[in-house]
């Protein structure tokens, strides 16, 4: 199975900066065999999606929005449409990132509707889950993640492809990466849980302070099928190095 390297640019990079990143990244990729064993995805901010799509048109880089609304169109001022993202060439949608959950108060039932919409368009949701530091210290990691899976994925087509990104909130943007033992333990439980829920076509990503110097070790852990990368994916060289760690 191909490993997934997904860049979450958050609220960074203008259309021009997105074009420059893709041009620099392409020049680092020596030949097409680079993509034989990996999928490279980029989640730009909404205003840069079209520029990114055009820049990626002749490459195997895949992309999608960082968030969508649960309806395709209508009177929903300020929201973004999955259908339009798809028309721009997106195959993936990031759903439920912890910043969406924490800052914008998004809840599992809303995320569930978005996952179903993504599947109805034959797009692949990248559904984010993860615990806070307090929850980890209180030994709640598994319970919190399982609840996010049960509620976020309730009634979701178990045959359709889904990517789950496990991102401990205390490891995001903090430089404090989860230890290999913590990642191994959580991913083992998440893998079992997804299978028990009937999912047959899923991958599990780890996210939270992934950098070029810790990527190789994390990627060796069973059930780590790739990464969701924030800060270290803003620079083409550093993202490229992470993509080369398998």
Where in 76-190 does DSSP place strands (E)? 92-95, 124-129, 162-166
| Residue closer to ligand PGA, measured from CB, 39 or 72 | 39
Q: Candidates 42, 209, 215, 239: give the one binding ligand PGA (CB under 6 A).
A: 209
Based on the number of CB atoms within 10 Å of its own CB, is 17 exposed (0-12), middle (13-18) or buried (19 or more)? middle
**Distance, CA of 91 to CA of 118 (rounded, Å):** 9
Report residue 160 as tokens: 């359709």
Annotated catalytic residues are: 97, 167
Using rule CB under 6 A, residue 167 touches ligand PGA: yes
Q: Please identify, among the stretches 53-61, 62-70, 83-91, 227-235, the one whose residues bind ligand PGA according to the rule CB under 6 A.
A: 227-235
Q: Is 90 helix (H, G, I), strand (E, B) or coil?
A: coil
Report residue 183 as tokens: 């990642």
| Residue closer to ligand PGA, measured from CB, 173 or 198 | 173
Using rule CB under 6 A, residue 228 touches ligand PGA: yes
Using rule CB under 6 A, residue 230 touches ligand PGA: yes
| Residue closer to ligand PGA, measured from CB, 52 or 178 | 178
| Residue closer to ligand PGA, measured from CB, 149 or 232 | 232
- 132-142: burial string, b at 16+ Cβ within 10 Å, e else: beebbeeeebe
Q: Candidates 4, 164, 215, 229: give the one binding ligand PGA (CB under 6 A).
A: 229
Q: Candidates 52, 85, 156, 210: give the one binding ligand PGA (CB under 6 A).
A: 210
Closest-CB residue for ligand PGA? 230
Using rule CB under 6 A, residue 173 touches ligand PGA: yes
Question: Who contacts 237 (Cβ-Cβ below 8 Å, separation ≥6)?
Answer: 24, 28
Using rule CB under 6 A, residue 207 touches ligand PGA: yes
Q: Where in 4-23 is the site for ligand PGA (CB under 6 A)? A: 8
In SS3 terms, 224-243 reads as: CCEEEECHHHCCHHHHHHHH
Q: Please identify, among the stretches 15-23, 146-154, 165-173, 188-196, the one whose residues bind ligand PGA according to the rule CB under 6 A.
A: 165-173
Task: Note whether 227 and 218 are within 8 A (CB).
Answer: yes
Using rule CB under 6 A, residue 67 touches ligand PGA: no
Using rule CB under 6 A, residue 64 touches ligand PGA: no
Nearest Cα neighbor of 208 from 237, 236, 194, 187 is 187
Task: Note whether 168 and 129 are within 8 A (CB).
Answer: no
Using rule CB under 6 A, residue 208 touches ligand PGA: yes
Total binding residues toward ligand PGA, as defined by CB under 6 A:
13
Task: Note whether 170 and 133 are within 8 A (CB).
Answer: yes
| Residue closer to ligand PGA, measured from CB, 42 or 76 | 42
Element (H, E) at 96: none
Q: Please report, as ranges, the residues that interact with ligand PGA according to CB under 6 A.
A: 8, 167, 172-173, 207-210, 228-232
């Amino acid at each position: 199975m191909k490993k997934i390297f997904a860049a979450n640019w958050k609220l960074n990079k203008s259309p021009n900066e997105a074009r420059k990143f893709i041009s620099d990244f392409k020049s680092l990729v020596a030949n097409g065999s680079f993509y034989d064993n990996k999928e490279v995805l980029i989640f730009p901010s909404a205003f840069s999606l079209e520029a990114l799509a055009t820049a990626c048109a002749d490459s195997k880089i895949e992309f999608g929005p960082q968030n969508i609304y649960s309806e395709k169109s209508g009177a929903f001022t300020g929201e973004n449409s999955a259908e339009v993202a798809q028309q721009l060439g997106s195959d993936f949608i990031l759903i439920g990132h912890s910043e969406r959950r924490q800052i914008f108060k998004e809840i599992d039932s809303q995320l569930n509707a978005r996952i179903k919409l993504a599947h109805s368009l034959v797009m692949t949701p990248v559904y984010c889950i993860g615990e806070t530091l307090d929850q980890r210290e209180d030994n709640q990691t598994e319970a919190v993640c399982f609840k996010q899976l049960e509620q976020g994925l309730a009634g979701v087509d178990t045959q359709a492809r889904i990517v789950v990104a496990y991102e401990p909130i205390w490891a995001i943007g903090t430089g404090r990466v989860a230890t290999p033992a913590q990642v191994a333990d959580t991913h083992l439980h998440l893998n079992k849980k997804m299978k028990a829920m009937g999912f047959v076509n899923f991958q599990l990503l780890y996210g939270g302070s992934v950098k070029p110097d810790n990527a190789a070790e994390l990627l060796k852990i069973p059930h780590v099928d790739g990464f969701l990368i924030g800060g270290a994916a803003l620079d083409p060289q550093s993202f490229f190095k992470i993509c080369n760690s398998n």
